[in-house]
Amino acid sequence: MAASDTPTTGSDWPLEIYNALKAADVRQLCYVPDAGHSRLIRLAHDDPAVATTVLTTEEEGVALSAGAWLGGQRAVLLMQSSGVGNCVNMFSLLQSCRFPFLTFVTMRGEWAEFNPWQVPMGKATPSAFEIMGVTVFRIDRPEDAGEMAAAAARLAYDSDQPIAVLISQRMIGAKKWTEAK
Amino acid sequence: MKAALDRRAAVKALLQDRGDLLIVSGLGSSSYDVFDAGDHPANFYLWGAMGGAAMIGLGLALAQPSRPVAIVTGDGEQLMGLGSLATIAAKKPGNLSIVVLDNAHFGETGMQMSHSGLGANLELIATGAGFPSVSTIETLAALNAFRPKLHDLSGPHFARVAISTDHVDRALPPRDGVFLKNRFRGHLGLPVN
């Protein structure tokens, strides 16, 4: 059985987030792929002004973001909630050097989840960020996405803060596990 | 390991005439070696973030494509971030070099043998990850021959430098990350507030 990778979406909220990142002059976007981020990833790949980097594991993106800032560029990391735990020790780099950091996290394990293996890290995601000093925002409604992304970017890059924006699984649409007839 | 290079002499030779080179050093002895070779605002010394040195280098290299960037790190630090070699090779930043000082041991924690001492071949791993330029450096002559590659913007380069396990005294660079970050950005003419 092949699962569909196409999430059901109610609006073009990925474009709203992308426009906010562009307005904030984000020049590097790195990711561990997630179906919920697929449109954002495509938008970045199609944009010659943004350097995209596919990662083997999420903490690479924390380090890359720090390096980009050292060199004068703003970076953003896209991942799903299962990757947040991988980043925990690398978040020390952000605190030790007061690096700005911005990540968008698609949530799994919280809304109509089919795969029980996604639940533990999904439940622990907000607290995993918080124990390491990362401020957590959450988007539950598509119409809030653009404004939330813009505010998160301001707080991250202008106030040197580490910010995670969680995107609710309800908003992404539960992954379809059966082929359409 | 007796024939291997002295780490301090090797790093000093590597960074001789450094020009506009930007350097990120991996935690532990690699940071001490880079500091001992001569403190510089374009040195970013890591005291943590184990496994992350090469990726900090990638973000920096992408942001500063006209400046050569060198990562100087140890075998243990690089082994913790082996996936980053695949990430860097996929991106192929011409201005990035990864230099691994390999003594086949975890020197900072009691000299336990590392994977490179237990059979892992870092050059083969880098080659397999897709690095187009991979060097093995076991002599000062080979090191001197490699040095121009740090500046040629035709990378990414990967080099393993075989170093001795002989004891060298610690040389401790500044530990304040905010200071190091702002000093580095100031060197590049970037805002630091």
ipTM above 0.90, yes or no: yes
Q: Which domain holds residue A146?
A: 2-178
pLDDT at B86: 98
Closest CA to B58 of A102, A57, A71, A99: A71
Whole-model pTM: value is: 0.95
Share of chain A above pLDDT 70, in %: 91
* B84/A contact by beta carbon, under 8 A: yes
Put simply, the answer to whether B53 touches A73 (Cβ < 8 Å) is: no
CATH number at residue A41: 3.40.50.970
Please give the pLDDT value at position A97: 98
Reply yes or no on whether the pLDDT at A11 is more than 60.
Answer: yes
In this complex, is the C-beta atom of A33 within 8 Å of any C-beta atom belonging to chain B?
Answer: no
Instruction: Verify whether the Cβ–Cβ distance A56 to B52 is below 8 Å.
Output: no
Of B59, B90, B178, which has the smallest distance from its Cβ to A66's Cβ?
A: B59
Query: Each residue of B108-137: pLDDT tens digit?
Result: 899 999 999 999 999 999 999 999 999 999
How many structural domains does chain A have? 1
Measure CB to CB from residue A72 to each of B51, B177, B190 and give the nearest one: B190
* pLDDT for residue A3 is more than 70: no
Touching check for A3 and chain B: CB below 8 Å? no
Taking all residues of chain B, what is their mean pLDDT, rounded to a whole number? Answer: 96
Q: Please report the pLDDT score of residue A2 as a whole number.
A: 42
The whole-number average pLDDT for the span B54-59 is: 98
pLDDT in tens, A23-70: 999 999 999 999 999 999 999 999 999 999 999 999 999 999 999 999
Q: What is the pLDDT of residue A178?
A: 73
Q: Count of CB atoms within 10 A of residue A31's CB?
A: 24
Residue A158 C-alpha, separation from nearest chain B C-alpha, in angstroms: 9
Provide the β-strand partners of residue B158. B98, B134
A57 in reach of chain B (CB within 8 A)? yes
B64 CA to chain A: closest CA distance, Å?
Answer: 6
pLDDT score at B171: 95
- Indicate the helix (H) or strand (E) that contains A150: helix A145-159
